[in-house]
Chain A
Amino acid sequence: MRVVSAESLEIRVSDDIVLVRQAVRKRSVALGFGLVDQTKIVTASSELARNTLDHGGGGRALLELVDNNTRAGLRITFEDQGPGIPDLDLALTDGYTTGNGMGLGLSGAKRLSHEFEIWSKPGEGTRVSILRWK
């Protein structure tokens, strides 16, 4: 898989979540995503950006236009140096929450994406990647 272009955004305050949504929207429009696909990837990004801020204490989002020779896609990676997730399976369960949310962030973002990867280590941080192909 080839990375065609990349852009990095800081997530420090709640307004940054809006900026991430806008950047993901812009990229998915440029890629020619249909309205439903745009809405799905923007919504998934919004959930993950909020996780980065609320649970990771802030971090960054890396937006990448990727290409695997047959099709193009949009990959967004969210990274923080927060407390990490001790039990990933549990965190990916619908309805599991540590905060006051409904626990749909991770599992919902996974359902809204074609590819989903998560890495987390307690005390080091969390990295979540979603990808949606055109």
Chain B
Amino acid sequence: MIEFKKVNFWYGEEDEPEVGNEEVLREVDLEIPQGKFMVLLGRNGSGKSTLAKHTNGLLLPKSGEVIVDGMNTGDEESIWEIRRRVGLVFQNPDNQIIATTVEEDVAFGPENLGLPREEILARVEEALNLVGMAEYRNKEPHLLSGGQKQRVAIAGVLAMHPEYLILDEATSMLDPEGREELMKVIINLRERIAVFHITHNVEEATEADEVLIMDEGRIVARGKPREIFSQVEKIEEWGLELPQVVETALLIKKQFPSLFEVLPLSPGELVQELCL
């Protein structure tokens, strides 16, 4: 479990937040349990990326603490073990690949763990299979599409055998196909490790075990997608939008209140109820 305990953070060296340099995280309490698929939504500037960078000690709280499986991110002795357990993938697929072939790129992390060669090869194989990129193992990364590059980046994290995969807007620069490929990979991983996915795309939140909303540095809501997206007015207040299926269902419900007692989240669910 990753636990945030009353975490406050502001950028800069000052001991106190000041005017013009306000807190980016405010008293954040949060638990990221193992094995769940969680989605974090929130407007630009609400603190999502800053929060992500706290999960593996890239940033340290100004007050409060972040504990990963019992280890404090502020403890220098634990930081490498924390970073093995918590892998981050960022927005730009072109900034995260360093080696000249896919295989070497994925091997980079486990090599640095000092594992025996057979173990490294086995992990690379396993990780590439999990993201559906095994047949590209000898390819040069720059020949891949954006979605494929992001899957390689995820494979690089998976080869470390982490417990948590944190995705900071990892789908936002991809085309629809790349996005779908990546979402499939994420959803397949959900039972193996915890996936914590930050996005602006509300459609991607509909399959989450849990949705979290951030606003002005605080976690302001947390619940199952159906609970979150039924709070229509709040959604607007938080600067978000409804998934289109939900919006459609709620509009129909205005005229036919007996329909959609359970809010549909996918096209399939909406159609199912109408075609009974």
Q: Is this pair of chains taken from one and the same complex?
A: no
